Amino acid sequence: MAALVPFSLLRNYSPFMLARPFVVVKACNLNFSKSVVLPLPCRRLPFSTRAAHDEQAAAKAAAATADSGAPTIFDKIINKEIPSSIVYEDEKVLAFRDINPQAPVHVLVIPKLRNGLTELAKAEGRHGEILGQLLYAAKIVAEKEGILDGFRVVINSGPTACQSVYHLHLHVLGGRQMNWPPG
């Protein structure tokens, strides 16, 4: 059954997550909204349902097999072996919604062919074309999602940046006020 569950759900139900009651995570967000002198944006953060600590743990676990060359959950999404909510697709690029969104709009943009791009740190000159296509696709996604007036693109490379799947992916986030610093 696990193979039918999109990756974000798998991450949500990691052993680490189960060891940290959900209410604690929610409480963190409430405290955050009270203390950071940003009441409006923070009150609009029902999308932040997982503590950063969980994300860091997931990223550390993922990094252990980063260079193995093994397929990731994204291969199953590309091959339509597991379902995803596709926002945009062309010959080179696939964009689908993150199931654990951190904003009203949260879409992942990936190259269909990984071709060595497990992470941005592995980019070489030969990747220039696909890197440009990915960034342009992020704009197309923003347009399709109606957030062209305000959106953030984020790329995490490596465990300390919270990368949890070793297939290069761009996060496109919008639909709420984004804060600073960016995590």
Binding region for a second copy (CB under 8 A): 24, 28, 31-32, 34-38, 41, 45, 47-48, 50-53, 55-56, 102-103, 120-121, 123, 125, 127-136, 138-139, 142-143, 148-162, 171, 173-174, 176-183
Least CB distance from residue 133 to a second copy, whole Å? 6
CA distance 153 to 106: 10
Looking up tokens 């600073």, which residue turns up? 180
Q: Which helix (H) or strand (E) holds 172?
A: strand 170-174
Least CB distance from residue 110 to a second copy, whole Å? 14
Report, as residue numbers or ranges, the catalytic residues: 169
Nearer to a second copy, 78 or 137 (CB): 137
**CA atoms within 13 Å, Cβ hemisphere of 47:** 18
Looking up tokens 């926002």, which residue turns up? 87
CA distance 142 to 146: 6
CA distance 109 to 168: 9
DSSP 121: G
Q: Nearest-CA neighbor of 66 among 161, 175, 166, 139? A: 166
Q: Which residues contact 71 (CB under 8 A, 6 or more apart)?
A: none
Nearer to a second copy, 6 or 159 (CB): 159
Least CB distance from residue 69 to a second copy, whole Å? 18
Nearer to a second copy, 5 or 161 (CB): 161
Full strand arrangement of the beta sheet holding 93-97: 86-89, 93-97, 105-111, 170-174
Least CB distance from residue 72 to a second copy, whole Å? 18
Nearer to a second copy, 3 or 24 (CB): 24
